[in-house]
Amino acid sequence: MTQLIGDRLVVAGQTDVGCVRTLNEDCFLIDQRSALLLVADGMGGHEAGEIASARVVALIHEHLDRMMNAPPATCTTASLDQVLDHDADEPTLDEVPNPVYHMVRDAINAANADVNLTNQEKGFDNGTGMGTTVVGLWLPPFSDCPVVFHVGDSRLYILRDRKLVQVTRDHSMYQQWLSMGKKGPRPSQNILLQAIGPSINLTPDIRFQEVAPGDVILLCSDGLYGMIAQEQIAQTLARANDTNLDHLAKELVTMARDGGGKDNITLILGLFIP
């Protein structure tokens, strides 16, 4: 079902167990009141991943929803080129005066502490136990630009002028290997450096994201982008309009299943309108 977030973002979401798994450990949220989009991909074995993803989505939502009653000063818009230039030096959270960064960081840290405490109570060592990735976009009315955040390898893409750009950078051994110039043996693509829950401490990526009317966004778990070539994703997103998002979301799920469907498949598709 298509939903309107604020007055400028139309979205639709889909999730599917895929062709191999028997349990869907993914979770997603589209909340109109708090203008929040979340996709989480749980891990940790039977039922544990499902619990972690649902719990983290609920906790981040609850934390940011409370912020709607105490809005900060309006955020400052960054240029798209600067935001997407992963080679450029990025400010630390302490160097950024905008309180929205800290709200998101606090929400993620609170969710991590909750799941990690459960792992400790069950006897898991630090770095083990159930966990989840998360990728989110928050567009509260007191902010003139969305905030994008993630932990792990769930991703956010933007299609602008028919060009697909991966905004988030995976917290994975494979991405680290790529960033270091492919030195040494190629690691598996599914070994994560960060996830919410297993470790006491983590460092989420949080940034403001400039958007423009006509931009198409895609938040998704690796069960989608791991089964479909980026060229196919770009071609599908290029057909997006404010009436067909639900259809295109279902089409992307079908494409991932046809590509093998080796994992759960979850996505939120959005279009910024004038």
- Model pLDDT for residues 49-108, shown as the tens digit of each residue: 999 999 999 999 999 998 877 655 544 444 334 434 444 455 444 454 578 888 999 999
Alpha carbon separation from 274 to 24, 83, 172 (Å, rounded): 36, 22, 36
pLDDT digits (tens, 9 = 90+) for 210-261: 999 999 999 999 999 999 999 999 999 999 999 999 999 999 999 999 999 9
In the chain, % of residues over pLDDT 70: 89
The answer to whether 133 and 41 are in contact (CB under 8 A) is: yes
User: What distance in Å separates the CA atoms of residue 64 and residue 154, rounded to the nearest whole number?
Assistant: 20
Q: Model's pTM, two decimal places? A: 0.89
In this structure, CATH architecture of domain 3-272? 4-Layer Sandwich (3.60)
**Helix (H), strand (E) at residue 274:** none
Q: Which one-letter amino acid corresponds to residue 146?
A: P
CB atoms within 10 A of CB 111: 27
E strands in 92-175: 131-138, 147-151, 155-160, 163-166
Helices (H), 21-98: 48-67, 80-84
Average pLDDT, the chain: 90
Residue 191 in 3-state DSSP? coil
Q: Where are the domains of the chain?
A: 3-272
